[in-house]
């Protein structure tokens, strides 16, 4: 069975549960923390995926690991995932959940490439400008590429806004080459 639809079903269920308890971002953070712990602790993964360990014991281990700090409905959700033997899908469920939360909260992610790391106030200004432009909350993810020379490249979904100095120089070169070819004829 493909895991995609299964993970989506679990993520949708968790989103409904989180909405009911007014804890949409918090449940996402908890799910990320659990999935991250599973990714970094091979012994925990081995115990949770072992057919030799009873499901009740696996659920108790989760309850003990999360302690009283995790919300009870969230812990029960994890217990149901373990009860059905889907604990191996927690990373994928977390990813789908974040996508659903983005849609629910009306936000989009943007890849922002700059030549040099921007200062925090510039990052905030870029995020605010992108949010105004997109008409919804934009979560910018910054990376640097010294090959840009200057300027910025923004990717939101399949839209690319290229305001880099490298691109401007390429356009100038193209215009100069074609102007010379057209002028000489």
- Taking the domains of the chain in order of start, what are their residue ranges? 3-103, 107-183
Residue 147 corresponds to which tokens in the numbers above? 């090959």
**Residue with tokens 């990714």, as numbered in its chain:** 39
In the prediction, which pLDDT does 3 show? 61
Q: What is the pLDDT of residue 180?
A: 61
Q: What pLDDT does residue 102 have?
A: 93
Task: Please give the model's pTM, rounded to 2 decimal places.
Answer: 0.73
Return the CATH fold of 3-103: Peroxidase; domain 1 (1.10.520)
Cβ pair 74, 35 in contact under 8 A: no
For 149-171, the pLDDT digits (tens) are: 888 999 998 899 898 888 888 88
What end-to-end distance do the CA atoms of the chain give, in Å?
65
Residue 113 Cα to chain centre, angstroms: 17
Spell out, as residue ranges, where the chain has pLDDT lower than 50: 1, 185
Q: Which helix (H) or strand (E) is 60 found in, with range?
A: helix 55-66
Q: Taking the CB of residue 89, how many other CB atoms lie within 10 A of it? A: 19
CB 37 within 8 A of CB 44: yes
Per residue in 48-78, pLDDT (tens digit) is: 888 898 999 988 988 888 878 889 999 999 9
Per-residue exposure over 101-123, b if at least 16 CB sit within 10 Å of its own CB, e if not: bbeeeeebebebbbbeebeeeee
DSSP letter at 6 equals H
Three-class SS state of 9: helix
């Amino acid at each position: 069975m493909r895991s995609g639809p299964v993970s989506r079903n679990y993520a949708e269920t968790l989103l409904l549960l989180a909405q009911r308890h007014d804890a949409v971002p918090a449940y996402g953070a908890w799910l990320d923390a659990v999935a991250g712990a599973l990714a970094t602790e091979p012994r925990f993964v081995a115990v949770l995926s072992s057919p030799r360990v009873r499901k009740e014991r696996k659920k108790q281990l989760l309850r003990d690991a999360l302690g009283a700090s995790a919300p009870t409905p969230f812990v029960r959700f994890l217990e149901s995932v373990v009860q059905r033997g889907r604990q191996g899908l927690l990373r994928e469920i977390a990813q789908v959940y974040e996508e659903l939360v983005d849609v629910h909260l009306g936000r989009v992610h943007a890849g922002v490439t700059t030549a040099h790391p921007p200062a925090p106030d510039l990052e905030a200004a870029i995020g605010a400008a992108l949010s105004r432009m997109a008409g919804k909350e934009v979560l910018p993810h910054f990376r640097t590429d010294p090959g840009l020379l200057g300027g910025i490249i923004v990717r939101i979904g399949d839209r690319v806004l290229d305001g880099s100095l490298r691109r401007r120089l390429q356009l100038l070169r193209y215009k100069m080459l074609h102007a010379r070819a057209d002028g000489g004829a």
